[in-house]
Amino acid sequence: MDRLRVSGIRAVAVGALAMGVMLSGCAGKKEQKDAAAPGKPRVALVMKSLANEFFKTMEDGARNHQRQHLDQYDLIAQGIPDERDINRQHDLVQQMIAQKVDAIVIAPADSKAMVGVSKEAMDAGIVVVNIDNKFDADTLAQEGVSIPFVGPDNRKGARLAAEYLAQKLRPGDKVAIIEGIPTAFNAIMRKRGFEDAMTAARMVIVDSQSAHWETSEAEKVVSGMVSRHADLKAILCANDSMALGAVAALRSAGRLDDVLVVGFDNISAAQEYMKEGAILCTVDQHADQIAVEGIIYALDILEGAATPQDKETRVDLVTAGDIE
């Protein structure tokens, strides 16, 4: 009797597990063709968090491009589950070296920590192109390597958004910044871009705190900020997820009408908020194009058609008027 009950529970558990596996099997199709046709270069795309909509768009863009250029190269796209997991990304690059790929296009999880392993790849004769998050210039100099960077200028993007905001404010108005992860290069650049434009327009930055790119954390931080600064006029968020949290906090405090919110990344949820007027503007870095540009550039270098140099990709301001 007792046996029967246990095996009954086991059967249920196995059933549930099997269903989960099936579900994930249907949706999670991984194309990894290691056996390349001879002569066709193999390009490894090593990404940051696959959990992030931005990198997902980036990866999809690369996969689409590869599908349209099947005869030109093979793509191995890899990412790490957590964008702070430097160790995992390090291992990934070493795997790619061992697989003797021809080029590695990498969005480094850390702008310093990943320089060493990238140098190992270059020493093994692999072309390395840096995308999205730029390697630290000093660290590159210390290692004695130069790796071309293809990607957006985050600082410029942030400046565009903040300049647009400045038009809606008066000099002397108080503003606050919600930062991303303080050690991330793009978070630092976005913060600087906000500061550039706000200082130039003579606004007063009264507060700047990190919400680690997260919606619910941004809600708590903004909620505290608006209590502290009763006359705050605008909040500049280093990404859209945090802008969503900022809007939730302002709404709960009844301050949504007198505090403007700026985002970054142009995710679809932010577009909805812009239509409602809750978010003023955001910035589009055309994520789908960043990896593609990196790959094309790597192929050009492989063919000897390009000399390794930095290349900037497009950054555009998006306002409610841009969304139909």
Q: Contact residues for other proteins (CB under 8 A)?
A: 6, 9-10, 12-13, 16-17, 20, 23-24, 27-28, 50-53, 56, 81, 182, 207, 209-210, 213-216, 219-221, 223-225, 227-228, 230, 240-241, 244-245, 247-249, 252-253, 267-269, 272-273
Cβ nearer to other proteins, comparing 111 with 223: 223
Q: How far is the CB of 245 from other proteins (least distance, A)?
A: 7
- For the CB of residue 8, give the shortest distance to other proteins in the complex, in Å: 9
Q: Toward other proteins, which CB reaches closer, 10 or 170?
A: 10
Q: Which is nearer to other proteins, 195 or 240 (CB)?
A: 240
Closest approach of other proteins to the CB of residue 76, in Å:
20
In the complex, minimum distance from the CB of residue 175 to other proteins, in angstroms, rounded to a whole number: 14
By C-beta, is 51 or 124 nearer to other proteins? 51
Lateral strand order in the sheet of 74-80? 74-80, 42-49, 103-106, 127-131, 149-151, 311-312
Select 125 or 254, whichever has its Cβ closest to other proteins.
254
Q: What's the min distance (Å) between Cβ of 244 and other proteins?
A: 5
Tell me how far, at minimum, the Cβ of 75 lies from other proteins, in Å: 19
CB of 133 to other proteins, least distance (A): 18
Shorter beta-carbon distance to other proteins: residue 54 or 135: 54
Measured from the CB atom, the residue of 9 and 37 that comes closer to other proteins is 9
